[in-house]
Structure 1
Amino acid sequence: MNASGLAADLAALHFLRPAWLWALLALPLLAMWWRSRRRRASIWREAVDPHLLQALLGKTGGRAQSAPALIAALGWTLAVVALAGPSWRQVEQPLWQSASPLVIALDLSGTVMAADVPPSRLAQARAKVATLLAERDGGQVGLVAFADDAFTVAPLTPDAANVALFLDALHPGVMPVDGQRLDRAIAWSTGLLRQAGFDSGDILVLTDDADAAARDAAANAAAQGYRVSALGVGSTAGAPYRLASGGFATVRLDPGSLRELAAAGGGRYATITSDRGDLDALGVLEPRSGDGTHQPGERGRSWQDGGFWLLPPLMLLALLAFRRGAPAVMLVLVLWWPGRVAASDLWQRPDQRAYQQMQQAAEAYRNGDFDDAAERYAQVEGADADYNRGNALAKAGHYPQAIEAYEEALRQDPGMEDAIANKRAVEAAMNRQPPQGPQSGQQDGDDDSQQPGDGQGSPGAGQPSGAGGDSDADDAAPPPEGRPDDAGADKPSERDSDTPPPDAEAQSAADAAQREQMRKALQDATQPSAEEGETPAEATETPEQRERRLANEAWLRRIPDDPGGLLREKFRLEHQRRQMQQGWEPR
């Protein structure tokens, strides 16, 4: 940096938070306190006369004793100056632009089915809202539908495309009660803007008429900073429409009442057209700026806080606060002892160390190292740890120890359903007798399951709890947080056996051959070739994948094709809630 640049920076130097500089006044007080403390700490002053003390102490009370005080004073000064925010240069940054939000209130009363603007008022209104959402240049947008009451279709969001997804579902049939309460629509829209934290915004209503209550609501919204505009939907000639009772009535556009509404709300009025001229006249395609001073993309300059430059010298001074040789010792520990000194272990709380131990135990459990998992769980206290330890012991075949672990978990948490179910499954596995011959697996249809009590069972077992309906483990609730991911799914009684007893070898081979034949038959019956109209992916899927896909397709066919059903149910429930509360507020 040249001399002229340095001089310019010094000339521009100022403090962003100058109030912190008052803390420098504490330095003299701290110096006085330190001197008095040092004077009281000297035992020689109590036994030696003052005129002999200096001759006795010599120069030991000079610079050596003053160095800590000077270091502390310098550190204090640097910290205070850094907190004061010294600044001497400006940097560019984009200016935040506050675009005015817009809430669209769409009339969904029975009158929108009139065809004075073909094909219907509803079709014209939905098309106009779609154009507005597609061409509006920024700003948050919300959508409200109203008839006898007002409801939120889409809350305020910067994603206008997300709001447009609901347009096709809008129909008078989704409204719980017919009517035309425009005043409630304006009040509801005002509440949405207020709850979103906006002090100003726009409300655009699409309807054909406005009464005195609606004008009062528009004036109230304008008093709170929200501009209300109106887009007239329909024609002055009018057209008939069908009432909910089955009769017919005629409805006409009343431009005069809508102009009065816009005037009361501080907004504008326009009649719906086939082009975007009406939206241009309303001024809703270009959001108003919150302060009216900055344009999009404009950049400004702000003073940069340079206090961070004082942190390195302040940290160097902090090293001198250690005892003599302490910085060198710390450096040696960091460089030569990284394997034995872990910063995370030194600063971890007991609960953090327990959580880490649980994570390591869960990882060992998933990897199949059940003995190691049980040892790690034993080092952690709590019902969850004992429950998981019981799972690991059961998977390792240590059933008596597993039952003890479950009992310990139940002593701490008597209502733990998973521990109760797994304890029953392990007890059933211990009481179950192994098969005695090749035909024993076929004598009881329920005894085809695996026998985990001693690690010996008929091959091909897949039932988790074995004979006679001891299936509590299957019905157990998922394990609570902190248990292995597969602890609740793979119950202890699901432990596969790799070493069948000698007298079951023949039956094992027969079962394996029978399963292979059934698999091929199922595949031939349920998996047609790609020539029958299937995609290559469907032709190569397994029977399980095909069964799952067909079930999903059947479930989807059961869902009625009613895009407005969700809104209809939502509005109905909200209407019932308001009736119960005898009042309503925007939510």
Structure 2
Amino acid sequence: MTALAAFTFLRPLVLLALIPLAALWFFRRQRAAAGSAPTPHIAPHLLAALTIGRDAGSRARASDLLLGAAALMTLAAAGPAWRAAPSPFVTETAPLVVALDLSPSMAGTDVAPTRLERAKQKIRDLVALRAGGRVGLVAYAGTAHLVMPLTDDPTVLLPFLEALDPGIMPDAGRVASSALTLAAGLLAREDTRGSILFVTDGIDPGDIASFAKGSGGGARAALIVAPDIPAEVSDWSRRAEIRAVSVTIDDGDLGAVQRALASSLAQTAAAEGKLQDDGWLFAIPAALLVLPWFRRGTTLGWGATLLALALPPPDHAHAAGVTDTISGWFWTADQRGQRLYDAHHYKDAAATFANPEWRAAAMIRAGEYTDAAGILAPIRTATAQTNRGVALVRGRDYQGGIDAFEAALELDPKDQIAARNLDVARRILAYLSKARDAEDPDLDNDDNAADATTTDLTGDQGKPATITADAQLSEASADEWMRSVETKPADFLKTRFAIEAASAAKAP
């Protein structure tokens, strides 16, 4: 039903081609009927003996099959669509922010081993199911706090997830609306619409009104870590359009959560017209209708030309779902690469893509940052240079990343993504330089030092760093977080949350 609600044609004007096809079919049927009319000067019994195929008018002719195939290909060219379109530079799964409830009730043992531990297990399983998907983490009780910005590296997120406990929260309570505001702010900085998942055992009834009034920031769902869904959660789900799913011992609950989020995202994409062209599906029945043409005595004639005109351009063809062998016959290299990319085979996708920018995107996913940057270097577009900067920063070449982001802004001064990444890269480079200077005050800091390539510090070279409540965080800062923590993650988070709560209390 979700697919039917989102169904549309991306190029509806192409459907006008059905009118001449229908007229041609009617004309040929009329001519066939006229040709089979009785001949008055021949006796009926002699006419029956001399006529071959007298009932042909009631059967499907080769031309009927051809026109049917042409009609199907016209529908394919019109661009039927009902699901969100993928992009090589956007993760195949939308960005997801998980808001974990750390109120005291989450320590309950009615869900083994505890509600909180079960919640952590489900979050780990969800991250694994979304392999390659960007995930952020927010914790909330009486206040809401950012644990980890959106990242596609679970090795950075999981240690902090394990450290979460009700004891680290500065205030008791369950203010889910604050977590919604924080999560929506994270998603607002993303290029694609994302989702918010609340993992909780209940909702404060007085907080429901905040959901009804506020914006959702994207698709929303809730995984209820409790034996039963409380009545107030059902009211929350109804009034705030949040699909509530009860926790299960298997992965059925995670499947239900992903379907709920996908449904909401598909409806939003349909409303915005950002859907994937699935016209290739009509090529399969059209091909089956073409098969009878090869029977002896059947001529293609004008039909072959007509079908060729009805075929959609190759760039719009998409044959996902057919075997890889057949795909090699009908798909472009970029279409084959997209299939491999969607299946998380990033190295194979990089070797298959013909488009250099798409190839570089797959190489970034595969961790081949230096090679990806080399491919993007000669492409003088803002998007290419921005992605080149991302590759260099992920490869720990922060100065090279800064140069790439500056090049992107020269090409497009309004590129907000490049501007944000440039700011992050500069702050990381400044942080690393400060840590290096603190370790060795006598280090030569001449004017040429800023022009040198600065790599990350390793081993015991790092120094303690203070992260204040007003620190601006992003995915690129996640590694800085990890290297700045010289104590247990739980102690670090407890201190940080306390600073943030105190700062918020002083704010006017």
TM-score for both structures, normalised by structure 2:
0.39
Higher RCO (Cα < 8 Å, 6 or more apart): 2
TM-score for both structures, normalised by structure 1:
0.34
* Higher alpha-carbon Rg: 1
